Amino acid sequence: MHLTPEEQALLNGESGPAAQKAMQILTALGRIYGAERLLPVQSVQISGVSYDNLGEAGLAWLAEMANGGGKAQVLTTLNPAGMDVENYEALGITEDFAVNQRRVLAAFETMGVVTTCSCTPYLFGNLPRFGEHIAWAESSAVCYANAVLGARTNREGGPSALAAALTGRTPAYGYHLDENRRPTVHVVVKGEVQTNPDFGALGKAIGDRLQAQGIRPVPYISGIEEASLENLKSFCASIATFGGVALFHLEGITPEAAQHTPPAETMIITQADLDQARSDLTSAEPDEVDFVSLGCPHLSLREIQRIAQLLDGKHVTKEFWITTSRPVKGMADRMGYTAIIEAAGAKFATDTCCVVAPIKGRFKALATDSAKACYYAAGKNKFKTRLLEFDAVIEEACR
């Protein structure tokens, strides 16, 4: 792989051990994937933030990088943590966990990483432009950046994203290159897809089929007429979770779709497929639900406004987590939405979510509008699930 003199100096350790280790990671990955050079990146999103996932080992490595003089060279934001940094006690998070989670955040802060703790960095200031090279982890945000924004990133893991942050570089392979952004399969949707759970079900239906067929997945999708920002973030989360998809093209909606013609290989998704996906994500009976959550991926302000509208004057009867980013919560505070929602007894779980918080086994069944949340609730946290419409989730919380 060709390295510039500056990159070679980082590899030689001239800027300290952390930058050297970062460069070792990037050059090794470059070698594995056949990259000819490194590319400068404009922004980084790091996953592996919850202490529940990292453990002491992950924390030790982050601390070593921080102590080794690692400093973020470009705008770098963080995935959700295992707790609301300001309000963890109300969510039943222990002080022991909080201490360890704070150590993780402190290590990132030392390295100049913005401790946003959100899976939707594109909603507040980490918004790459079309064609820009970035290095993002967090599978739903990777998919959103590639497909919806037309920026260019591979699916990074925690260490490789941190390595990109500390050097401002990533190896030139995969989705950074034009030839790998071409669609490989034409997905024709013949069914109703309008709401978040519809889009979640579509992501699962396509994702499951791609996994089974072993196709390198860049789907070109036709048959969808409208998709809001919220629908797209739901869809990205689902198709990344179920299909490992990092890039898709949505005809008439995403910016690179018009550059391509649909591939010959075709996959048809019928209404029956969508119904099946929805029913696969619903394992709990209505009476079993004891946990309700909205915000996977983190809620937009518009979604919080809707929750406030529906909860105004009501009272929730179940544990109800509203998961969002700190900046969006700040706007909700200013607009008075937070006060209405909290008066109804629902809880803001800012900086975190029901996927990464340490809540395994704590509840029996989750109701949500997110296909991704259903997947992790079942696999990681051992909850049953009910996939409902956004408004119906709020009704469920009050029932």
Partner 1 sequence: MKLTGRTIFPGQASGPALVSRMGISFYGGVDPETGVITETGHDLEGQSIAGKILVFPTGKGSTVGSYVLYRLKKNVHAPLAIINAECETITAVGCIISEIPCIDQINLSRMETGMQIALDADQGKITIP
Q: Which residues bind partner 1 (CB under 8 A)?
A: 21, 24-25, 28-29, 31-32, 47-48, 53-58, 60-61, 137, 157-160
* DSSP, res 147: I
Q: Shortest gap between Cβ of 38 and partner 1 (angstroms)?
A: 16
Q: Shortest gap between Cβ of 32 and partner 1 (angstroms)?
A: 6
Q: Shortest gap between Cβ of 28 and partner 1 (angstroms)?
A: 5
Contact 321, 293 (CB under 8 A): yes
C-alpha 92/C-alpha 83 separation (Å) is: 9
* Closer Cβ to partner 1, 48 or 297, answer by number: 48
Q: Shortest gap between Cβ of 159 and partner 1 (angstroms)?
A: 5
Q: Shortest gap between Cβ of 244 and partner 1 (angstroms)?
A: 12
* Closer Cβ to partner 1, 25 or 240, answer by number: 25
* Closer Cβ to partner 1, 46 or 83, answer by number: 46
Contact 230, 200 (CB under 8 A): no
CB atoms within 10 A of CB 269: 21
Contact 142, 161 (CB under 8 A): no
Question: At residue 167, what is the residue type?
Answer: T
The DSSP string of 337-380 is HHHHHHHTT-EEEET--TTTSS-TTS-SEEEES-HHHHHHHHHT
* Closer Cβ to partner 1, 26 or 374, answer by number: 26
Instruction: Write the CB contacts of 268 (distance below 8 Å, at least 6 apart in sequence).
Output: 187, 188, 190
* DSSP, res 325: -
* Closer Cβ to partner 1, 65 or 328, answer by number: 65
Residue 257 tokens, joined: 């779709």
Q: How wide is the angle at C-alpha 325 spanned by C-alphas 320 and 331, nearest 5°? A: 95
Q: Shortest gap between Cβ of 101 and partner 1 (angstroms)?
A: 16
φ, ψ for residue 156 (rounded to 5)? -80, 155
* Closer Cβ to partner 1, 42 or 53, answer by number: 53
